[in-house]
Amino acid sequence: MSASILVVEDEPAIQELVSYACANGGYAVRRAGSVQAAQEAVRAALPDLVILDWMLPDRTGLELLRELRAQERTREVPVIMLTARGAETDRVSGLDAGADDYVVKPFSPRELVSRVRAVFRRRAPQHSGEALEFGPLRIDPVRHEVCVNDEPVRMGLAEFKLLKFLIGHPERVFSRSQLLDSVWGDHVFIEERTVDVHVLRLRKALQPSGVQHLLQTVRGLGYRLSLRPE
Ligand code: CA
Residues near ion ligand 1 (CB < 5 Å) are 10, 53, 55
Distance CA 113, CA 142 (A): 18
Pick the CATH number of 132-225 from 1.20.1280.290, 1.10.10.10, 3.30.420.40, 3.40.50.880: 1.10.10.10
**Predicted confidence band at 125 (pLDDT cuts at 50, 70, 90)?**
confident
Distance CA 116, CA 191 (A): 33
86 CA to centre of ligand 1 in angstroms:
14
CB 100 within 8 A of CB 123: yes
> Is residue 1 over pLDDT 60?
no
8 CA to centre of ligand 1 in angstroms:
9
85 CA to centre of ligand 1 in angstroms:
11
**Predicted confidence band at 223 (pLDDT cuts at 50, 70, 90)?**
very high
48 CA to centre of ligand 1 in angstroms:
22
31 CA to centre of ligand 1 in angstroms:
13
Q: What is the pLDDT of residues 134-166, one digit of tens each?
A: 999 999 987 889 999 999 999 999 999 999 999
Radius of gyration of the chain (CA): 19
> Is residue 120 over pLDDT 70?
yes
Please indicate whether residue 205 or residue 185 has the higher confidence score (pLDDT): 205
Count CB neighbours of 149 within 10 A: 12
**pTM for this structure?**
0.73
Q: What is the pLDDT of residues 59-73, one digit of tens each?
A: 999 999 999 999 988
Domain extent listing, the chain? 4-125, 132-225
> Hey, what CATH class is 4-125 in?
alpha beta
113 CA to centre of ligand 1 in angstroms:
19
Query: What pLDDT, on a 0 to 100 scale, did the predictor assign at position 142?
Result: 77
> Is residue 182 over pLDDT 70?
yes
122 CA to centre of ligand 1 in angstroms:
27
Please tell me what DSSP assigns to residue 184.
I
CB 209 within 8 A of CB 130: no
